[in-house]
A = this chain, B = another copy of it.
Amino acid sequence: MDSEIFKRFLEEKGQRLTKERSVILREAFACEGHFDPETLYADMKRRGMKASRASVYRTLSLLCECGLVEKVSKTEHGTIYEQRHGRQHHDHMVCLSCGKVIEFYSEHLEKLQDAICREKNFTGKSHTLEIRGYCGVCASHHDSEGENANDR
């Protein structure tokens, strides 16, 4: 279980898996996909679970440190994290307007990168591809207007 991994990680550092940390871990893994700290915090509060904003940020740092969670990117609306345990590699599209993150995976793209690496005599180990632009919803608002398709 994820909390076991986290617990072990903490104990190795002489730290503890507290109630608050458990709650935050659960919350982070509940939303299958991406999340940002503020939303996570707000959701938690709404559901009556107690943990301060400070603890949320502190715990997310710890989760990153032990690899269960990863910072994916920064947007106008804050940092986006994603759950990493047991998930397959993929790349991201990030909507510049609403901050939505779309995951995608393309075998073809991966192969092509391998080819480019060979060509440059480079031994690729990992990569990050982020495509920034506008999601379907925001693109339609965006066409007509300038910059005001902003909502949370």
Show the binding face of A for B, using Cβ within 8 Å: 61, 71, 73-75, 89, 93, 95-96, 102, 104, 106, 108-110, 112-114, 116-118, 120-136, 139, 142, 144, 147-152
Contact = CB atoms under 8 A, between A and B. Distances in A.
A28 to B, nearest CB: 19
Contact of A133 (B102, B104, B112, B124): B124
A142 B6 CA distance: 22
A120 B102 contact: yes
Contacts of A142: 123
Nearest to A125: B133
A122 B151 contact: no
A152 B126 contact: yes
